[in-house]
């Protein structure tokens, strides 16, 4: 069996050799999930697993992924027991060519029901690896080119594992950072317990989507569908690789947020790619609108339509900028509150709302505006309050929602924008963070 450290080259991607595509037998629709069709939302929420890679393709991908240069430059462990690889395309031509090849793009677009394009290079082949080892180096040493079929003896607790009740899901209930994802399995799954995706339906119930077998993939409109990934048990390794997409069609809303990745991404590398991708999208929108006006000059006389278009692009640029939290602030707040608090921010917000002093503390903080008084977040808050007054939905990192009930606070606004680290800073300023911390002791 080839060891990771002995690999020094990789194969040339050839779709005739490395692909083995069989269309999904079923596509899950938004209607099936009792979810509304939003602006630019595809009717297809996701697919059941379908064959994508051949046996040779699986081995070639693992060989490319486990090159020494990839592992040494792309590895991190942001979550306990999980090795993460990012930016592998910078060091592996095979991985880049596989995901960007026209045939692969055709396949994922067909499965999703809309023409897709990759959001940016850094989101090609984001890989999550469950493997034995307590450190990054130990986990690396346990990686082999050949997929292992070794099993782990299951305990009674493992056999009783319920990801809907257990807190050990790989990723708890969430929306993806980008509109669409393709999740590809690169490990043997025979004997595995868990590994499925659970989707929250419109009526609050859940629907399970079986995890893909080795060489198989699933497509999910993860930016619109709330879901969780169950942790796999009973196997020595679980390797899934994910590439993110947006719709290629002009005028389709782009629901991208960087909430999920900011705490562990290389922000100095990520932000330039993010800026270019967003400006390309903006360019496409402007060119498309200009072409419509050139075809039909009277189109420009539609002042209401023009105003809507302009405001949409302004909001898009604002959202682009808001997502780019400075690396210094990011590092400081993650160090201050911890990565777990960052990802649990929505649950923390739900918890503090049960405190008797919640309304008084949150209202006082917003009314006095002592927290970053000159920040543009205050204009964002007022804009959202106006949309609520007009009974219009608020688009955000946790889907599109119509607000009803209590007063809308800055905490709500920051979580809507997926700015969990900024939310925690505001929460501390209100005094609610201290109360929350004391409630845990």
Domain extents for the chain? 4-251, 273-440
Residue entry with tokens 């932000």: 271
pLDDT value of residue 3: 46
Whether 424 and 418 have beta carbons less than 8 Å apart is answered as no
Model pTM?
0.86
Beta pairing class for 206-209 and 399-401? unpaired
Beta pairing class for 27-29 and 44-47? antiparallel
pLDDT value of residue 299: 59
d(C-alpha 95, C-alpha 75), whole Å: 16
Helices (H), 233-392: 267-295, 303-322, 327-337, 339-343, 345-352, 358-368, 377-389
Total count of residues recorded for the chain: 441
pLDDT value of residue 9: 81
- Name the E strands within 168-299: 171-174, 180-185, 197-200, 206-209, 216-220, 227-229, 237-247
Whether 210 and 220 have beta carbons less than 8 Å apart is answered as no
CA distances for 376 relative to 309, 379, 441, angstroms: 22, 5, 35
pLDDT value of residue 115: 93
Helix (H) or strand (E) holding 111: helix 102-112
Q: Which fold has domain 4-251?
A: Jelly Rolls (2.60.120)
pLDDT value of residue 399: 76
d(C-alpha 16, C-alpha 399), whole Å: 39
pLDDT value of residue 252: 83
Euclidean distance between the first and final Cα of the chain, in Å? 50
Question: Is the Cα torsion angle 210, 216, 220, 226 positive or negative in sign?
Answer: positive
The 10 Å Cβ neighbour count of residue 132 is 13
Collect all residues with Cβ–Cβ distance below 8 Å to 160 and sequence separation of at least 6: none
Mean pLDDT per 10-residue run, the chain (441 residues)?
Answer: 54 97 94 82 90 97 95 85 90 97 97 93 92 87 85 72 64 84 93 83 90 94 87 82 92 87 91 96 92 76 83 93 97 94 94 97 96 96 96 86 92 97 98 96 80
Give the residue from 73, 67, 70, 85 showing the smallest Cα distance to 264: 85
pLDDT value of residue 108: 96
Taking the CA atoms of residue 27, residue 212, residue 63 and residue 74 in that order, the dihedral angle to the nearest 10 degrees is: 80
């Amino acid at each position: 069996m080839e060891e990771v450290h002995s690999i020094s080259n990789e194969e040339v991607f050839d779709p005739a050799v490395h692909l083995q595509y069989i269309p999904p037998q079923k596509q899950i629709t938004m209607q099936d999930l009792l979810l509304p069709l939003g602006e630019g939302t595809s009717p297809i929420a996701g697919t059941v697993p379908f064959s994508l890679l051949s046996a040779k393709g699986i081995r070639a991908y693992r060989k490319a992924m486990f090159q020494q240069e990839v592992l040494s430059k792309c590895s991190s462990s942001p979550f306990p027991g999980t090795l993460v690889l990012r930016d592998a395309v910078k060091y592996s031509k095979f991985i880049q060519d596989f995901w960007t090849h026209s045939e692969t793009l055709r396949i994922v677009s067909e499965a999703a029901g809309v023409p897709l394009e990759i959001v940016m290079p850094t989101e090609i082949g984001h890989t999550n690896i469950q493997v034995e080892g307590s450190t990054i180096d130990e986990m690396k040493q346990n990686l082999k080119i050949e997929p292992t079929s070794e099993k782990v003896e299951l305990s009674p607790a493992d056999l009783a594992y319920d990801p809907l009740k257990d807190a050990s899901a790989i990723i708890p209930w969430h929306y993806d950072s980008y509109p669409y994802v393709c999740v590809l399995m690169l490990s043997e799954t025979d004997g595995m317990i868990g590994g499925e995706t659970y989707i929250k339906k419109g009526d609050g119930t859940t629907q399970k989507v079986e995890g893909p077998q080795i060489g198989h993939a699933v497509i999910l409109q993860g930016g619109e569908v709330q879901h969780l990934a169950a942790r796999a048990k009973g196997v020595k390794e679980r390797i899934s690789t994910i590439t993110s997409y947006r719709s290629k069609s002009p005028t389709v809303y782009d629901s991208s947020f960087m909430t999920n990745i900011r705490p562990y991404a290389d922000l100095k590398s990520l932000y330039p790619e993010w800026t270019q991708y967003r400006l390309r999208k903006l360019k496409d929108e402007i060119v498309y609108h200009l072409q419509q006006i050139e075809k039909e000059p009277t189109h420009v006389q539609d002042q209401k339509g023009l105003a809507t278009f302009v405001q949409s692009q302004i909001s898009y640029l604002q959202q682009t900028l808001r997502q780019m939290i400075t690396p210094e602030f990011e590092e400081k707040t993650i160090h201050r509150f911890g990565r777990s608090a960052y990802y649990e921010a929505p649950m923390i917000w739900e918890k503090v709302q049960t405190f008797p002093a919640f309304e008084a503390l949150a209202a006082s903080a917003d009314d006095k505006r002592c927290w970053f008084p000159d920040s543009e977040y205050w204009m964002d808050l007022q804009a959202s309050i106006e949309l609520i007054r007009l009974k219009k939905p608020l688009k955000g990192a946790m889907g599109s929602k119509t607000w009803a009930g209590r007063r809308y606070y800055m905490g709500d606004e920051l979580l809507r924008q997926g700015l969990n680290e900024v939310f925690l800073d505001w929460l501390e300023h209100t005094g609610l963070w201290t109360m929350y911390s004391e409630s845990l002791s």
